[in-house]
């Protein structure tokens, strides 16, 4: 009977010990700190706003380069009239000649003598001589020398004009006298580049 009581007591003690151990284990389990959370995954860096754009595919043609167009060669300039296509040389004065001299007291809008006359009054203030030439020249000089013929020839006026012409032309010379012209005979001598080539006489009658 005592043995059974000891066994019962031992059994109770063992059971109580097991219960206490179980309670301690549970308490330790409840009081243990929760496991550490896994480390946060570092997010990938956001793309930069200055990212370099992708290069164009190798097959993309390069933009054309603006190349200025060379001007077209000018068409050959026709040679001036009267030339054979070679560079036109200055035509000498010998290619023109004096065709006529017209004397009068008035001129038209083209500054040519409007009415030919050979007799003038002492009161005609102006006397004109229009010199008609034919031919071509780039540089020639005409001169008009006026003389009074009373005994010895007396030159009282000399004027020159440079001309350039490609055909017939008229050059007019003029003399004036603020007083009355002396009665008598007169003449005008026309020279071309210093050489006398023509002359014309007229009279002043009282």
pLDDT tens across 112-151, in order?
999 999 999 999 999 999 999 999 999 999 999 999 998 8
Q: Which CATH architecture has domain 96-204?
A: Sandwich (2.60)
Check residue 139 and give its pLDDT. 93
> How many angstroms separate the CA atoms of 50 and 69, rounded?
40
Backbone angles phi, psi at 139, to 5 degrees: -160, 105
What are the Cα distances from residue 4, in Å, to 1, 8, 9, 12?
5, 6, 8, 12
Query: Nearest-5° angle of CA 139, CA 141, CA 146?
Result: 170
Q: For the chain, give every domain's residue range.
A: 96-204
Nearest-10 Cα torsion for 98, 102, 108, 109: 10
Q: With a cut of 80, say whether residue 6 has pLDDT above it.
A: no
What is the pLDDT, as a whole number, of residue 8? 54
Predicted pLDDT of residue 94: 53
Q: Calculate ∠ Cα 78-165-193, nearest 5°.
A: 130
Q: What pTM was computed for the model? A: 0.55
Contact status, residue 71 vs residue 163, Cβ threshold 8 Å: no
Task: Say how many CA atoms lie within 13 Å of 40 toward its Cβ.
Answer: 3
In three-state secondary structure terms, 10 is helix
Q: To the nearest whole number, what is the mean pLDDT of the chain?
A: 72
Q: What is the pLDDT of residue 20?
A: 53
70-79: b or e for each residue (b if 16 or more CB lie within 10 Å)?
eeeeeeeeee
* Distance from the Cα of residue 89 to its chain's centroid: 30
């Amino acid at each position: 009977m005592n043995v059974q009581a000891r066994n019962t007591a031992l059994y109770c003690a063992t059971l109580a010990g097991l219960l206490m151990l179980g309670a301690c284990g549970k308490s330790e389990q409840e009081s243990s700190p929760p496991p550490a959370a896994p480390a946060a995954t570092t997010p990938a860096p956001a793309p930069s706003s200055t990212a370099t754009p992708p290069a164009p595919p190798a097959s993309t043609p390069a933009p054309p380069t603006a190349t200025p167009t060379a001007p077209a060669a000018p068409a050959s300039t026709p040679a001036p009239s009267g030339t054979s296509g070679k560079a036109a040389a200055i035509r000498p004065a010998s290619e023109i000649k004096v065709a006529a001299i017209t004397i009068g007291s008035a001129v038209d809008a083209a500054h040519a003598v409007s009415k030919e006359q050979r007799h003038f009054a002492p009161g005609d203030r102006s006397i004109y001589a229009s010199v008609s030439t034919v031919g071509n020249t780039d540089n020639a000089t005409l001169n008009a020398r006026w003389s009074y013929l009373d005994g010895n020839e007396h030159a009282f006026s000399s004027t020159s004009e440079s001309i350039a012409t490609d055909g017939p032309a008229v050059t007019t010379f003029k003399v004036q006298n603020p007083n009355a012209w002396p009665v008598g005979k007169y003449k005008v001598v026309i020279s071309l580049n210093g050489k006398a080539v023509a002359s014309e006489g007229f009279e002043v009658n009282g």
